[in-house]
Amino acid sequence: MGKHLVFVGGGHAHLTALVRLKEYIRRGHKVTLISPSPHQYYSGMAPGMLSGIYRPQEVRFHVRKLAEDRGAEFISDSVTALHPRERVLSLKSGGEIPYDVASFNTGSEVPAERFLFTKVENAFPVKPIIHFLSGRRFILNAPAGSLKRFLVVGGGPAGVELTANLSRLLQERKDGGKIILIGGRRLLSGYPEKVRTLALNFFQARRIEVIEGTHVKEFRRSGVDLQDGRSLEFDAAFLAVGIRPAPLFKESGVPVGEGGELLVDSFLRSPAFPEIFGGGDCIALEGARLAKVGVYAVRQNPILFHNLMAALEGGPLQPFVPQKDFLAILNMGYGRGILWHKGWVYEGRLAFLLKDYIDRSFMKKFQVSGELEEEE
């Protein structure tokens, strides 16, 4: 007798399983995808969507069509509670969905209680990814001369890429504007010094001010107060810090990681509830500390597809072994990139072209639902 497989979220780690849904359904299993949006945007190309390098259609998957075309049910909703002992999911709409096997790829969010300014129309947290597009439209639709002060908060790779691509957008808009990047304790603190220096030189050449050694203490409707006592005003702001998983797992009683992520073993499975799986930013891997980078979610794709089938029908599970070294390329917004791999650092156009090739190849593999022909 068939079982019920539920995917919660249509993120990067679920894409192989979603493309191959018919293999579950042919074996008599029912499949449901729950996602708040019919589209899933790819984080690796999101900064380029902000600057206009990529059209929105090039950066997203139509996960609703992907699921329904293969015989699965799509539910436009969010999961607000997980009841692992009863094997039931509670939905924001008030409904409940039972499952035999569930897999979570819900990404992360900006905690609204910490950053109340995210409710303001001129402030954009980087998660969910659709906010990159919202920020672009806000800037392009603003009356001439009305936006002069731009703030980016976050000194990690997301903040750096966002700042560089915002700079390109403002250059094409030809309306001027000052960008300030608040980089926290130290810009790109986890990267080699050469990468950090190249990024700082890039910003200096474009008159982008970088503030280090302090954090944001409090947000106001059109400004921020810093821990060092300074206050800054903004006409538009982007937030690339404070990212964490939704409180769903912590409140459910399943084992979680330090940041509230769903704790999983090497098979991407909850150690306490073997019918629960997960991938991407919303998980913590036992015995390892994974950076929040898309490469891990991409490599979890085939593992999740195989292990979900094994959970439904029995059979051996495959372990996920995170790679120790991975290629990192920062999109610096002007057709240039900063590449870092195993201590080797390079800046230039070739770095961006390599990133562009890798990203487009990934998109081509899973854009099977006519995304490029969609209306914006």
Name the 3-class secondary structure at 264.
strand
* Bridge partners of residue 330, in order along the sequence: 338
Distance separating alpha carbons of residues 160 and 201, to the nearest angstrom? 12
- Helices 157-173 and 193-205 cross at an angle (nearest 10°) of 20
pLDDT band at 117 (very low <50, low <70, confident <90, very high): very low
pLDDT digits (tens, 9 = 90+) for 171-193: 988 888 999 999 999 999 989 99
pLDDT digits (tens, 9 = 90+) for 268-287: 999 999 999 999 888 999 98
pLDDT band at 119 (very low <50, low <70, confident <90, very high): low
Non-local (6+) Cβ contacts of 199 within 8 A are 160, 187, 188, 330, 332, 338
**Main-chain dihedrals φ then ψ at residue 135, nearest 5 degrees:** -65, -40
Contact 227, 215 (CB under 8 A): yes
Place of tokens 């947290």: 125
Answer yes or no: same fold for 4-36+77-108+244-324 and 116-242: yes
**Closest of 217, 245, 242, 243 to residue 231, by C-alpha:** 217
**Closest of 117, 103, 169 to residue 333, by C-alpha:** 169
The CATH superfamily label for domain 4-36+77-108+244-324 reads FAD/NAD(P)-binding domain (3.50.50.60)
Q: How far is CA 60 from the centre of its chain?
A: 12
What per-residue confidence (pLDDT) applies to 118? 47
H or E stretch at 90:
strand 88-91
pTM of the model: 0.91
Buried b (16+ CB within 10 A) or exposed e, 14-39: bbbbbbebeebbeeebbbbbbbeebb
pLDDT digits (tens, 9 = 90+) for 41-65: 999 999 999 999 999 999 999 999 9
Residue 210 has pLDDT above 70, yes or no: yes
Contact 59, 41 (CB under 8 A): yes
Non-local (6+) Cβ contacts of 69 within 8 A are 369
pLDDT band at 292 (very low <50, low <70, confident <90, very high): low
pLDDT band at 289 (very low <50, low <70, confident <90, very high): confident
First to last CA, the chain: 42
Contact 112, 104 (CB under 8 A): no
Domain ranges in the chain are 4-36+77-108+244-324, 116-242
Mean pLDDT for the stretch of residues 133-161:
94
The mean of the pLDDT values for the chain is 91
**Second-level CATH architecture of 116-242:** 3-Layer(bba) Sandwich (3.50)
Share of the chain above pLDDT 90, in %: 76
What per-residue confidence (pLDDT) applies to 110? 63
